[in-house]
Structure 1
Amino acid sequence: MLKIDASLPHWDSHNDDERRQHMAIRVTASRLLAALVVLTSLPSASALGAIIALPKYNVSVEEVSVSGFSSGAHMAAQMHFAYSKTIRKGAGIVAGGPVYCSQGNVAISVGPCMANTGSRNLPYLMSVVNTWSGNGYIDPTGNMSASRVYLLSGTIDSTVRQPVMDDLKTMYANYLPAANIYYKNNLAAEHAVPTDFFGNGCSVNGSPYLNNCNFDTAGEILKWIYGTLNTKNTGTLSGSFINFDQSAFWGNFNPGTYSMASSGYAYVPAACTAGQACRLHVAFHGCLQSASVAGTAFYQNAGYNRWADTNRIVVLYPQTIATTNNPGGCWDWWGYEDVNFPGKSGGQMVAIKTMIDKIVGGNTAAPFTCSHWYASNYAHVANGRAYIGTDGQVYAVNSNQYLGYYLTTAYTDVRRTSAGYYAYGSCS
Structure 2
Amino acid sequence: NLSSYNVDPSEISVSGLSSGAYSATQIQVAISASIKGAGIIAGGPCDCGAHMNYTSCMFTSSPSITQSISNTKLWSGNKIDDITNLAKHKVYMIRGTSDPLIGASVMTQLYKYYVTDGPFISSENVVFKNDLNAAHTFPTDFDSIGNNDCGSTSSPFISNCNFDGAGVILEHIYGPLKPRNNGALNGKFIEFNQREFLMNSSAYGMRDTAWIYVPKNCSDGVTCKLYITYHGCQQSHEKIGDKYIKNTGYNRWADTNKIIVLYPQTVPTNTIDSTDKELIPNVNGCWDWIG
Shared fold, TM over 0.5: yes
Residues 1:81 and 2:29 are matched in the alignment: yes
Stretches of structure 1 that go unaligned for 5 or more consecutive residues are 1-51, 336-428
Q: Give the partner amino acid of 2:245.
A: Y
Partner of 2:203: 257
TM-score w.r.t. length of structure 2: 0.92
Partner of 2:275: none
Partner of 1:92: 39
Q: Give the partner amino acid of 2:57.
A: C
**Counterparts of 1:2-401 in structure 2 under 5 Å?**
52=1, 54-87=2-35, 89-103=36-50, 105=52, 108-110=53-55, 112-117=56-61, 119-134=62-77, 136-173=78-115, 174-198=119-143, 199-250=147-198, 253-324=199-270, 325-335=281-291
Question: What is the distance in 2 between the residues matched to 1:267 and 1:238?
Answer: 10
RMSD, aligned CA: 1.0
What secondary structure, in the 3-state scheme, does the structure 1 residue paired with 2:152 have?
coil
Q: How many percent of aligned residue pairs carry the same amino acid? A: 45
Question: What is the distance in 2 between the residues matched to 1:200 and 1:121?
Answer: 33
Question: What is the distance in 2 between the residues matched to 1:103 and 1:262?
Answer: 27
Pairwise CA distance, 1:116? 2.6
Question: What is the distance in 2 between the residues matched to 1:171 and 1:179?
Answer: 15
Structure with more strand by fraction: 2
| 1:100-138 Cα distance to aligned partner (Å, 9 max, x none) | 111255xx212x211133x4111221111111114x111
Runs of 4+ in 1 over 2 A off after TM superposition: none
Question: What is the distance in 2 between the residues matched to 1:275 and 1:266?
Answer: 16
Q: Give the partner amino acid of 1:96.
A: G
Question: What is the distance in 1 between the residues matched to 2:93 and 2:32?
Answer: 18
Kindly name which structure, 1 or 2, has the bigger radius of gyration based on alpha carbons.
1
How many pairs does the alignment contain? 275
Q: Give the partner amino acid of 2:286.
A: C
Question: What is the distance in 2 between the residues matched to 1:122 and 1:327?
Answer: 28
Question: What is the distance in 2 between the residues matched to 1:333 and 1:142?
Answer: 23
Q: Give the partner amino acid of 2:206.
A: M
Pairwise CA distance, 1:310? 0.3
| 1:302-351 Cα distance to aligned partner (Å, 9 max, x none) | 1100000000000000000012121110000113xxxxxxxxxxxxxxxx
What secondary structure, in the 3-state scheme, does the structure 1 residue paired with 2:45 have?
coil
What secondary structure, in the 3-state scheme, does the structure 2 residue paired with 1:186 have?
strand
Question: What is the distance in 2 between the residues matched to 1:318 and 1:78?
Answer: 15
| 1:248-271 Cα distance to aligned partner (Å, 9 max, x none) | 112xx3101110000110110000
Question: What is the distance in 2 between the residues matched to 1:256 and 1:132?
Answer: 29
Partner of 1:13: none
What secondary structure, in the 3-state scheme, does the structure 1 residue paired with 2:269 have?
coil
Pairwise CA distance, 1:157? 0.4
Question: What is the distance in 2 between the residues matched to 1:200 and 1:293?
Answer: 14
What secondary structure, in the 3-state scheme, does the structure 1 residue paired with 2:48 have?
coil
Question: What is the distance in 1 between the residues matched to 2:88 and 2:51?
Answer: 29
| 1:54-87 Cα distance to aligned partner (Å, 9 max, x none) | 2221111100001000000011101100011111
